[in-house]
Amino acid sequence: MNKGAPSNAIIEASITSEWIQGHRLHHGQDRRKNTLVTIFTANTPQFSTDMAQRAIEIKLGPRQSEDFRTWAFAFIDQYREIIIAELLAILRGPPVEEIDPANLTRWGGWMWRC
């Protein structure tokens, strides 16, 4: 893959395929539903038409002159009630993700369960 041109057919196929398949440690060949989110960072990305139609572009503004800590504390002070309300809504809401018992591994004791 060329630097600055993430339009390689293999990468596109991996991102857009319905299933991800490959070797699963201690199990052999396996496959699972492709529910992954892929993130690219680039200064001047050049996607193929297919990738460009699927991509969501997030542009960051110019760097602020003040330091991040000062900005972060000011942001939190300004939006404190909204931030707390959003976090409480998430905590009170239904579990978002659950691990299928068929996918538990020998490390199941350390896996996150909602």
pTM of the complete model: 0.37
Q: Which residue ranges make up each domain of the chain?
A: 9-95
Nearest to 34 by CA among 61, 16, 59, 11: 16
How many C-beta atoms surround the C-beta of residue 55 within 10 A? Answer: 14
- pLDDT reported for residue 13: 78
Helices (H), 17-114: 49-54, 68-92
- pLDDT reported for residue 99: 65
Instruction: Give 103's DSSP letter.
Output: G
Q: Who has greater pLDDT, 6 or 59?
A: 59
What average pLDDT does range 50-54 have in this prediction?
Answer: 77
> How sure is the predictor about 12, in pLDDT bands with cuts at 50, 70 and 90?
confident
Buried b (16+ CB within 10 A) or exposed e, 16-52: eeeeeeeeeeeeeeeeeeeeeeeeeeeeeeebeeebe
